[in-house]
């Protein structure tokens, strides 16, 4: 790829405050030492940490096994249990410490100490065994954000069963695809969930999914979250509480090989059909543990709230596993950010004394629309670190998060990673000087580079394919049952064994990484390469724009034209006023980036089509921009009616 023509004009630098420098666990010297050690001895660096941070029932002697590359294996002759590492090992010193603080949609609160969590997980592990689930069996977890979801995951890990959490908002069809692909034996679900003041049924989707085929599913365990009646199929379905009645609180965690699959997780499908990403036990837990320490500096006084659903990788690594492995207190929240009003997140932060808060740019932008008055009504002074994940964060949203939520004092930890990477890859430590919109630098032990399409490494300032040059412990092990897809998707380069991320990025003169978006999101307008994210940021910096998505559409002369889908902070204007605003926005982009980036089409809607994890479904927007009929699967969309809004305006 050639030079990026329009580099973000962002050059603000935010140094960590003295308070941060003096209080966080990892200072500049330690960080420099880690980088030095990692670059001198890559495998030794990770192996020493694996010995130091995790409890092994059988110590490993092999660090990295490359014999079946690109299926890399780590700590191959070691054995451990992930649930033991997340719970049991804390009991001696932290049995009365809160592990989970749960707030339901209606404001109901439940807490579990480490001891209580241990007893509950053991009971459920015994239940799973009593229901015939054995090590290596696949278990689907289709549940809302309630503690029982984490309990079910931990119980699977405890007996060596491989879970696959399917997001509770997915349709019966999406659920069936995943049940079939994983060839699961058991489904764990609830009768329903509560979101935004409503009761939402869940079990019906399981019944529909299992209607045809899926004979491999022998049991469905149903936790009753709501008072609603639930259809139970004789001989197949069993109530959670009945199933665990009489089960012991004692359970000996089953040691598994470091490479034993801990879980499968299907990617969000923003780019194609979801892939069943297979993760390991030892390597995965190591990076999950470390990044909770490194990026979030979690210690004994922290209350950590990651708002991600357990249906996504973020809810695995930063809710169900990583923070527990370090012995932290986590918050889980069942509801939505806008119920009963758009101050809900800030109320939860205040009421539970959240110190480290981790959410997605889409949530920040949505809440930013309501202004600073709402957050200012709550006491957010306990917050000390703020994180973001999921998409590039535009500088506008970064600044709002930093100034309004973080009082200008909390570092913004912008974490770049993927389902496949298992844990953070490029992200700041709390002491890293920050640039709004950049995820800063690769972690120690992670070697990232930017390549052109021929596989040549590019210099600073040049945009291209982001790759990871060396294997790391929490990397994807396989696409479940599809070796070929694993190799062709992630290791497509002929002569270099690099992991190809699928995102494009560039490194600035200081070595900071800027993610430009998916590889197929870079537009080529009259021979100029433009990152969609930059045009989006430019639009969002206009006072009337809340959110924007840019896609390309074929254009006879320019090659590609720029199509903008825009959500406003104000009512969508009609007639002449609409044309005036369109002209104003085009001019604004021209001023911010250059005339080449001016959107050719601007369409307004009340929201953008997003997956339930909050990612913009650009493949659908591309079809709309081209004027095509939508034929793709839209079952993972949060609100399918949004598409019609944009289509009608064409």
Tell me the per-residue interface mask from 350 to 389 with ligand ATP, x by CB under 6 A, - otherwise. Answer: ---------------------------------------x
- Between the CA atoms of 288, 291, 297 and 301, what dihedral angle is there, to the nearest 10 degrees? -10
Report the residue number, 220 or 516, with the smaller CB distance to ligand ATP: 516
Query: Is residue 418 within the footprint of ligand ATP (CB under 6 A)?
Result: yes
What single DSSP character describes residue 258?
T
Tell me how crowded residue 388 is: count the other CB atoms within 10 A of its CB.
Answer: 25
Tell me the per-residue interface mask from 502 to 531 with ligand ATP, x by CB under 6 A, - otherwise. Answer: xx-----------x--x-------------
What is the distance between the alpha carbons of residues 231 and 208, in angstroms, rounded to a whole number?
Answer: 12
Give the number of residues in contact with ligand ATP, rule: CB under 6 A: 23
Tell me the per-residue interface mask from 590 to 629 with ligand ATP, x by CB under 6 A, - otherwise. Answer: -------------------------x--------------
| Nearest residue to 117 via CA among 157, 80, 144, 79 | 157
How many angstroms separate the first and last alpha carbons of the chain? 32
Q: Give a three-class secondary structure readout of 513-575.
A: EEEEEEHHHEEEECCEEEEHHHHHHHHHCCCCEEEEEEEEEEECCCEEEEEEEEEECCCCCCH
Binding window for ligand ATP (CB under 6 A); candidates: 105-113, 263-271, 327-335, 467-475: 263-271
What is the distance between the alpha carbons of residues 399 and 619, in angstroms, rounded to a whole number?
Answer: 29
Query: Is residue 532 within the footprint of ligand ATP (CB under 6 A)?
Result: no
Query: Is residue 291 within the footprint of ligand ATP (CB under 6 A)?
Result: no
- Considering the complex, what minimum distance in angstroms separates the CB of residue 48 from ligand ATP? 28
- Considering the complex, what minimum distance in angstroms separates the CB of residue 519 from ligand ATP? 9
CA 201 vs. chain centroid, Å, equals 25
Tell me the per-residue interface mask from 483 to 502 with ligand ATP, x by CB under 6 A, - otherwise. Answer: -------------------x
* 433 Cβ contact partners less than 8 Å away, ≥ 6 residues apart: 13, 14, 15, 16
What is the spatial order of strands in the sheet that 499-507 belongs to?
Answer: 448-451, 464-468, 499-507, 513-518
Q: Which of residues 298-337 bind ligand ATP (CB under 6 A)?
A: 312-313
The verdict on whether residue 251 carries a ligand-binding annotation is no
The verdict on whether residue 414 carries a ligand-binding annotation is yes
The verdict on whether residue 212 carries a ligand-binding annotation is no
Tell me how crowded residue 353 is: count the other CB atoms within 10 A of its CB.
Answer: 16
Query: Is residue 270 within the footprint of ligand ATP (CB under 6 A)?
Result: yes
What is the distance between the alpha carbons of residues 363 and 377, in angstroms, rounded to a whole number?
Answer: 19
The verdict on whether residue 198 carries a ligand-binding annotation is yes
Binding window for ligand ATP (CB under 6 A); candidates: 24-32, 66-74, 363-371, 412-420: 412-420
Could you say which of 419, 504, 537, 645 contacts ligand ATP (CB under 6 A)?
A: 419
Query: Is residue 432 within the footprint of ligand ATP (CB under 6 A)?
Result: no
Report the residue number, 427 or 593, with the smaller CB distance to ligand ATP: 427
The verdict on whether residue 540 carries a ligand-binding annotation is yes
Binding window for ligand ATP (CB under 6 A); candidates: 141-149, 222-230, 415-423, 477-485: 415-423
Report the residue number, 141 or 465, with the smaller CB distance to ligand ATP: 465
The verdict on whether residue 417 carries a ligand-binding annotation is yes
The verdict on whether residue 391 carries a ligand-binding annotation is yes
What single DSSP character describes residue 372?
S
Q: 585-606 burial by CB neighbour count: b if 16+ within 10 A, else e?
A: bbebbeebbeebbbbbbbbbbe
Report the residue number, 83 or 419, with the smaller CB distance to ligand ATP: 419
CA 433 vs. chain centroid, Å, equals 24
What is the distance between the alpha carbons of residues 603 and 303, in angstroms, rounded to a whole number?
Answer: 42
Q: Which residues are annotated as a binding site?
A: 195-198, 314, 390-392, 414-419, 503, 518, 526, 529, 540, 542, 545
Q: Which residues are annotated as a binding site for Mg(2+)?
A: 540, 542, 545
Q: Which residues are annotated as a binding site for CoA?
A: 195-198, 314, 526
Q: Which residues are annotated as a binding site for ATP?
A: 390-392, 414-419, 503, 518, 529
Positions touching ligand ATP (CB under 6 A) are 267-271, 274, 312-313, 389-392, 414-416, 418-419, 439, 502-503, 515, 518, 615
């Amino acid at each position: 790829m050639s030079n990026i023509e329009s580099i973000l004009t962002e050059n603000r630098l935010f140094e960590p405050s003295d308070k941060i420098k003096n209080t966080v666990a990892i200072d500049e010297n330690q960080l420099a030492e880690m980088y030095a050690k990692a670059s001198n001895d890559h495998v030794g660096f990770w192996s020493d940490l694996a010995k130091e941070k995790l409890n092994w029932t059988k110590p490993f002697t092999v660090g990295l096994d490359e014999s079946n590359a690109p299926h890399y294996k780590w700590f191959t002759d070691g054995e451990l249990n992930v649930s033991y590492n997340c719970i049991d090992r804390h009991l001696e010193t932290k049995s009365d410490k809160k592990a989970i603080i749960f707030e339901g949609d209606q404001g109901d609160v439940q807490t579990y100490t480490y001891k209580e969590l241990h007893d509950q997980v053991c009971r459920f592990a015994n239940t799973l065994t009593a229901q015939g689930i054995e090590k290596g069996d696949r278990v689907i977890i289709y549940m809302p954000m309630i503690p029982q979801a984490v309990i079910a995951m931990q119980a699977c890990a405890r007996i060596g069963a491989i879970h696959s959490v399917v997001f509770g908002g997915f349709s019966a069809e999406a659920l069936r695809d995943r049940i079939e692909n994983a060839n699961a034996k058991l489904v764990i679900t609830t009768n329903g969930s509560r979101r935004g003041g409503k009761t939402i049924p869940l079990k019906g989707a399981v019944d529909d999914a299992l209607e045809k085929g899926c004979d491999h599913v022998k049991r469905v365990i149903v936790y009753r979250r709501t008072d609603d009646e639930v259809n139970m199929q004789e001989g197949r379905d069993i109530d959670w509480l009945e199933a665990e009645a009489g089960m012991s609180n004692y359970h000996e965690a089953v040691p598994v090989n470091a490479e034993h699959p801990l879980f499968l997780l299907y990617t969000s499908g923003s780019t194609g059909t979801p892939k069943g990403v297979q993760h390991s036990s030892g390597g995965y837990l190591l990076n999950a543990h470390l990044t909770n320490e490194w990026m979030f500096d979690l210690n004994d006084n922290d209350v950590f709230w990651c708002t991600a659903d357990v249906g996504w990788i973020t809810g695995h690594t930063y809710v169900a596993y990583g923070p527990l492995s370090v012995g932290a207190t986590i918050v889980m929240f069942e509801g939505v950010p806008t119920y009963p009003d758009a101050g809900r997140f800030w109320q939860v932060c205040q009421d539970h004394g959240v110190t480290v808060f981790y959410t997605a740019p889409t949530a920040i932008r949505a809440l930013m629309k309501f202004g600073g008055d709402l957050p200012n009504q709550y006491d957010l002074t306990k917050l000390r670190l703020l994180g973001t994940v999921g998409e590039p964060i535009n500088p506008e949203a970064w600044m709002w998060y930093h100034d309004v939520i973080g009082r200008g004092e909390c570092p913004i930890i912008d974490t770049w990673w993927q389902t496949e990477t298992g844990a953070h890859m490029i992200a700041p430590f709390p002491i890293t000087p920050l640039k709004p919109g950049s995820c800063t630098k690769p972690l120690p032990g992670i070697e990232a580079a930017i390549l052109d399409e021929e596989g040549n490494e590019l210099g600073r300032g040049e945009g291209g394919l982001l790759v990871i040059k060396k294997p790391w412990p929490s990397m994807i092990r396989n696409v479940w049952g599809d070796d070929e897809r694993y190799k062709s998707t992630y290791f497509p380069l002929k002569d270099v064994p690099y992991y190809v991320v699928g995102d494009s990025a560039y490194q600035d003169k200081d070595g900071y990484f800027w993610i430009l978006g998916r590889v197929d999101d870079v537009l080529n307008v009259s021979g100029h390469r433009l990152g969609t994210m930059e045009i989006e940021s430019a639009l969002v910096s206009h006072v009337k724009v809340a959110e924007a998505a840019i896609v390309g559409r074929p254009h006879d002369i320019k090659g590609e034209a720029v199509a903008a889908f825009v959500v406003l902070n104000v009512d969508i204007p009609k007639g002449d006023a609409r044309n005036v605003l369109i002209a104003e926005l085009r001019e604004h982009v021209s001023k911010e980036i250059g005339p080449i980036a001016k959107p050719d089409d601007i369409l307004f809607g009340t929201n953008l089509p997003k997956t339930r994890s909050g990612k913009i479904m650009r493949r659908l927007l591309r079809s709309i921009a081209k004027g095509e009929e939508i034929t793709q699967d839209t079952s993972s969309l949060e609100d399918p009616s949004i598409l019609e809004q944009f289509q009608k305006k064409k």
